[in-house]
Amino acid sequence: MSTLKVREIDHRGERKVALFYDYIVNSALDNHTRALPNRAFSSTNKCWYIPFRDDYRDYLEQYYATCEGLEINFEQVKAENPNSERESKEAEITVLIRIDKVKKKMYVEHPYSPHLHEIINATRKGFWLKKQHCWVFPGNNENYTGLSQLIIKSGYKIRKIILEAPTETSVKQPEHINKQVMSLGSQEKTLLETYSHTILLKRLSPSTCKIYEHFFTVFLMDQRGKEIEHLTYHEIYNYIKAKSRELEFTQLNQTIAAIKFFYERVMDRERMFFYLQDEKIIKRGSVFIGFDELMDVCKKISSPVDKMLLFLYFHVRLEHDEICLIPANSREMFSDRYRLAGNNQEAIEYFQALIDEIQQTHQPGQYLFENKGEAYQVHDLQQKVYDIIHRYRLKAIYSAQYQYILDATTFSPKTKQMYLGAFMKFLEYHHFRHPTHIRNEEIRDYLVLHHEKSPSHQDNMVNAFKFFFEQVHKSEISDKYMIRPRKGFFLPDYFTRDEINGMMSVTHNIKHRFMISLFYCSGIRREELRQLKIGDVDIKSNHIFIRAAKGNKDRYTLFSRHLHGMLKEYLEKEKPVHYLFEGAKSGEPYSSTSMSSTLKRAALAAGIRRRVHLHMLRHSFATHLLEDGWDIRYIQELMGHRNIKTTSRYTHVVNDALNSVKSPFDKMIEQSRGGFTGNGSSP
Distance CA 400, CA 289 (A): 8
Q: Known catalytic residue: 550?
A: yes
Q: Known catalytic residue: 525?
A: yes
Cα separations (Å) of 207 from 178, 247, 634?
17, 19, 22
Nearest-Å Rg of the Cα atoms of the chain is 37
Distance CA 275, CA 237 (A): 9
Q: Known catalytic residue: 395?
A: no
SS3 494: coil
Distance CA 562, CA 564 (A): 6
525, 530, 619, 624: which is the annotated catalytic residue? 525
Distance CA 1, CA 29 (A): 11
Show Cβ contacts of residue 204 under 8 Å, excluding neighbours closer than 6 positions: 212
SS3 485: coil
- Cβ neighbours of 26 (radius 10 Å): 6
Q: Do the beta carbons of residue 73 and residue 6 sit within 8 Å?
A: yes
* Short-list 55, 59, 39, CA closest to 47: 39
134-138 and 105-109 beta bridge pairing: antiparallel
Show Cβ contacts of residue 610 under 8 Å, excluding neighbours closer than 6 positions: 493
Q: Known catalytic residue: 650?
A: yes
Q: Known catalytic residue: 239?
A: no
39, 615, 633, 649: which is the annotated catalytic residue? 615
Q: Known catalytic residue: 547?
A: no
- Write out the H or E segment, with its range, that includes residue 34: helix 28-34
260, 618, 619, 624: which is the annotated catalytic residue? 618
16, 265, 619, 641: which is the annotated catalytic residue? 641
SS3 589: strand
Long-range contacts of 249-258 (CB under 8 A, 24+ apart): 251/215, 252/276, 254/211, 254/212, 254/215, 255/215, 255/218, 255/219, 257/212, 257/215, 258/211, 258/212, 258/213, 258/214, 258/215, 258/216, 258/219
- Cβ neighbours of 163 (radius 10 Å): 14
Q: Do the beta carbons of residue 125 and residue 98 sit within 8 Å?
A: no
526, 550, 600, 613: which is the annotated catalytic residue? 550
Alpha-helix residue ranges (DSSP H) falling in 46-81: 56-63
Catalytic residue positions? Answer: 525, 550, 615, 618, 641, 650
